[in-house]
Chains A and B, each alone.
Chain A
Amino acid sequence: MSPRQVCEALCQALAYENDVMKVLVLDGSTAEDAGVLGVAGTLKELLIRSGHQLEWMELRGMTLDPCAGCTSCWDRTPGICVKEDDGRTIGGAWMSSDLVILLGRITFGGYPSLLKRALDRQAGLLLPYYLSGKEGVVHMPRYERYPSILAIGVCSEYSQEEDETFKRIVAQNGMTFKALHTRVKIVCAEEREETTREIIESSVMGMKVRR
């Protein structure tokens, strides 16, 4: 490790210990999914203990229609979805947080439908226009700053192909949503609780956030 890397790691650890982050958790678990609920419980406990300002959104209890693909949030009511439901609430919470944690079961290599529904509804956080930069072609940002993204995917058993697809999707979302730092963690639902705790703790701890 170079001195610079040591310094960066130290700064991150100190930032985690001393500063209070605003954390938004989009919990895409279903009531029957004991595996994800277990991970959700561990995550909640860790975040509360660390003293971060936590906003936990259980998507299964929210009124959330699928995106209609009408593009009104781009060209009719810029920045705001025309559907008057919890999709708007999520957008507001997203923009006022430092870190967004996406939690759900890996479903055929992607997000579960509930979590994806919440994400699809956030297109208005971006502008429709494209911009060609060093990261390739991306949507122009609507806002100056966006939160970092940590995706925690829960699986029944590790599948290299599905995990790779999941990582690609999250990386793409990180770029789309202009996250300063994007990270993916895959947790097996059968894992022992201590192992899950270690995985989650290390992943939250290393997140860089822009304030």
Chain B
Amino acid sequence: MTNALVLNGSPSDGGASSALADHAASYLMEKGATVVQLNMLAAMRMDISGLLNSCEAADLIVLSFPVFMGSLPSHVIEWMEIASQREGMGKGTAFLAVGQGAHPSPAEVDPAIRCLEHFCRHIGWRWAGGLGMGMGLVLEKGPLERRRAARHTVAGLDMALEAVMKGEATPEAARKRFSRRAKTTFAYLMFANRYWKRRSKRNRSHDRMMDRPLMR
């Protein structure tokens, strides 16, 4: 039986990375794995050595993360720094990276996936592959299974998890399927810009959206 650890690398729960982590955890449980699911930042704040023990005990780690400023969020890098200093972590644990960014292009996620690959090589974990997608805003709110816009994402993730559970690397088809665009770039830009306008109206900040508080 596989001991899987599913980490949500987003600082908050309820967003796109969280939805991807939830889906990965339920898929793995369905396939008979023992799953521990954690929010990385919350776990680091509560008990960092507990988090590292969970990493050490796992045969498979799935990290779902958002892209912040073109690469991994700072607390994920901090976790990598701490884990790489700890003795006895590198026992060939399989590691699957699942990243999403709000930018329309999946290429934005690539450098973050490369960083995780370098980390795995350094620590001695088995790199099971990286999945990256753009247009992450379409995954916001609710379970992925019910969202039409997420059907390729779900199919790609399932294919990757199935391969990883068999001890294989993520197939290219899974990577392609996962990164398939949910909308055309033009449609997504319209969608994303409307999304922010709606949110600013809800927060009563729409008339201040263009403010320049740090103008010198």
A176 proximity list for chain B (CB < 8 A): 69-70
Complex CA gap A127/B210 in Å reads 7
Q: Is the interface of A mostly helix, strand, loop or mixed?
A: mixed
Q: Are B11 and A67 in contact (CB under 8 A)?
A: yes
Contact residues, A19-61 vs B (CB, 8 A): none
B69: min CB distance to chain A, Å: 5
**Closest Cβ neighbor of B77 among chain A residues:** A113
Q: Are B210 and A143 in contact (CB under 8 A)?
A: no
Q: Are A137 and B185 in contact (CB under 8 A)?
A: yes
Q: Are B70 and A66 in contact (CB under 8 A)?
A: no
Q: Are B75 and A113 in contact (CB under 8 A)?
A: yes
Contact of B118 among A74, A92, A108, A119 (CB under 8 A): A108
B171 at the interface (CB under 8 A from A): no
Most buried by B among A95, A96, A168, A172: A172
Complex CA gap A136/B189 in Å reads 12
A70 proximity list for chain B (CB < 8 A): 12
Q: Are A107 and B77 in contact (CB under 8 A)?
A: yes
- The stretch of A3-11, A77-85, A186-194, A196-204 in contact with B is A77-85
- The stretch of B87-95, B104-112, B145-153, B173-181 in contact with A is B104-112
10 A/B residue pairs, CB under 8 Å, sorted by A? A71-B199, A75-B205, A78-B200, A79-B214, A111-B77, A116-B68, A116-B71, A120-B74, A165-B118, A173-B70
Contacts A67-B73, A110-B112 known; 10 new A-B pairs at CB < 8 A = A75-B199, A78-B208, A95-B216, A110-B72, A113-B78, A129-B193, A130-B193, A137-B103, A137-B104, A165-B115
